[in-house]
Amino acid sequence: MAPASDPAPDPSTPDLDVSGVDAEALEPAEVRGSRTHPASAFVRVWLFVLAAGVGSVQQLAEELDVRRAAIVIGLGLVVGGVYGVVRWLTTRYVIDGHELRVDSGLLTRTSRRAPYERIQSVDVAQPLGARILGLAELRVELAGGDGSRVALQYLTKADAHRLRGVLVERAHAVGLPAPTDDAADDPAAPRAAAVDQPERLVAQVDPGHLVVGTLLSMDLIVGAIGTLVVLAVVGVTGSFFLVVPLLLPFAGNVFRIVAGRVVAQWGSRLTRGPRGLRIERGLLGRVSQTVPVGRVQGVAVEQPILWRRWGWRRLLVDVAGSAGEKDSDENPSTLLPIGSPELARTVVREVLPGVDAESIPVEPLPRRSRWFAPIGWRRRAVGADERAFVTATGWVTHRIDVVPHAKTQSVSVSQGPLQRRLGLADVDVHTPDGPVHARVHNMDAGRARQVAIRQLDAARAARLSDDGSAAGHRVLG
């Protein structure tokens, strides 16, 4: 593709090096394009071996001997290796004045480009195959929803982190992505030097807590009991044809829970870097994500019933630009899988400076709201301090949702026919889609209106005082 067609963000200074870091080191690469690490060719070989095995499963099942198995595995290795080498030979990446470009493909050439001004986040991930070879993948998320990702497969871990630093630095220099509040935190530190600053450890999740906490989850216990009951029924009646349809939902659920909460969250480590809070986690593949602190829209503190004895909490987070409730590689919705109250407080302070979620004063709901929530109404409450709006809900899993005033999108009051009869109303403080929902049902109607109006005032004041750092940074374009 001709360089002339590049969407230059600022034609007058096309090659202005604004980062001040590593420019010299990268200069040659900027001219001719660099290759990824040679070992990249072999990261996915196991997929081909697997495919060869699946493809010849019938033959293998008929007669399984060492020779046949060796042929299948060898075939997989050769095809996978050749494919990998060709792919590696044809892949080059370029980092120039305005974009990261990855060109790949032998017959069909693909050119994926990440202009700096569209970069939303840069993550380093280590899928299992890459991890074994000591490699890492660099993932660049762009503004513009699903599928707008450029991945660089694979680099050494150190290179990946260095490159990540450079890209983040340049994206910031172009100025569009939201500022993390580092500037506010540490005005003395020059931006360029920030990349190399050591990261400060904020939290390290105790593996023992993680395992015990997962075992003490209601859904896991239900799944395990279901599995045992099914096994008992099958054992007693001897009707083995029931095994698959009955066992699958329970056992599958147990598997999903263990995979999602133990394997994926294993060794969670939160560090505070210059660009926000870094989360590293995962037992098999390590995933590293950055939560840009300035883009945190809200936090939820959860306390499941079986954890209450130890006071453990789980933290969920809403980050602008990553919609969806589920944890995926690029969307960290679990901030802290499990931790003590003190740890939870520390982490909340880290993402929402000056907010202590659990000590914000709240007011209870009127007694007549019990008609809608006979048990839960005692637990429900709403409150605010000078920084954030909070709601408390849930009598099985205690939950506190926190939205900083500055991040309030809009506020609504609503009332159904039965609520009108009882003089009750709902208040909802809207946040971008994510796990945090700051809404309170069945408040006293007059009070609901006061709370909503007060929230609008608080949000306005917070926006105004925030303006200095936020002006000109509109994300989600």
Interface ranges with other proteins (CB under 8 A): 178-179, 294-295, 297, 320-321, 406-417, 420, 423, 425, 428, 430-433, 445-446, 448-449, 452-453, 456, 459-460, 463, 466-467, 469-476
Closest CB to other proteins among 160 and 388?
388
CB of 331 to other proteins, least distance (A): 15
Q: How far is the CB of 178 from other proteins (least distance, A)?
A: 6
Q: CB of residue 275 vs other proteins: minimum separation in angstroms?
A: 16
What minimum distance in Å lies between the beta carbon of 372 and other proteins? Answer: 14
Q: Which is nearer to other proteins, 50 or 464 (CB)?
A: 464
Task: Give the number of other Cβ atoms within 10 Å of residue 464's Cβ.
Answer: 10
Helix (H, G, I), strand (E, B) or coil at 361: coil
Cβ–Cβ under 8 Å, residues 268 and 281:
yes
Q: Which residue has the tokens 């993402």?
A: 351
**Residues 150 and 167 sit within 8 Å (Cβ to Cβ):** no
* CB of residue 459 to other proteins, shortest distance in Å: 6
Which of residues 196 and 325 has its CB atom nearest to other proteins in the complex?
A: 325
8 Å CB contact between 265 and 337: yes
197 three-class SS: coil
Residue 374: phi and psi, rounded to 5, are: -60, -35
Nearest approach, Cβ of residue 425 and other proteins (Å) = 6
Q: Which residue has the tokens 């009991």?
A: 225
Q: Provide the β-strand partners of residue 111.
A: 103
Q: What is the smallest separation between the CB atom of 472 and other proteins, expressed in angstroms?
A: 8
CA–CA separation, 28 and 107 (whole Å): 27
**Sequence-ordered list of residues with C-beta below 8 angstroms from that of 246, at least 6 positions apart, any chain:** 230, 233, 234
DSSP 63-132: S--HHHHHHHHHHHHHHHHHHHHHHHHH-EEEE-SSEEEEEE-SSS-EEEEEEGGGEEEEEEEE-HHHHH
**Residue 350 or 428 having the CB closest to other proteins:** 428
Burial group, residue 54, by CB count within 10 angstroms (0-12, 13-18, 19+): exposed
Nearer to other proteins, 205 or 316 (CB): 316
**Least distance (Å) between residue 464 CB and other proteins:** 9
Kindly state the DSSP code that residue 15 receives in the 8-state scheme.
Answer: T
To other proteins, the closest distance from the beta carbon of 301 in angstroms equals 20
Q: In the bound complex, what is the minimum distance in angstroms from residue 364's beta carbon to other proteins?
A: 19
Q: Which is nearer to other proteins, 73 or 413 (CB)?
A: 413
Q: Which amino acid is at 124?
A: V
* DSSP 8-state class, residue 319: E
Residue 171 or 306: the one with the smaller Cβ distance to other proteins is: 171
Task: Report residue 20: phi and psi, to 5°.
Answer: 75, 5
Task: Kindly state the DSSP code that residue 366 receives in the 8-state scheme.
Answer: P
| Nearer of residues 134 and 446 to other proteins, judged by Cβ | 446
If one counts every other C-beta atom within 10 angstroms of the C-beta of residue 135, the result is 23
Q: Which is nearer to other proteins, 165 or 179 (CB)?
A: 179
Q: By C-beta, is 251 or 422 nearer to other proteins?
A: 422
Between 92 and 449, CB nearer to other proteins: 449
Please state the closest distance from residue 452 (CB atom) to other proteins, in A.
7
**Sequence letter at residue 226:** G
Of 176 and 194, the one with the shorter C-beta distance to other proteins is 176
Residues listed for the chain: 477
Task: Report phi then psi at 333, rounded to 5.
Answer: -100, -20
Q: Is the peptide bond before 116 cis (omega within 30 degrees of 0)?
A: no
Task: Tell me how far the alpha carbon of residue 142 is from its chain's centroid.
Answer: 15
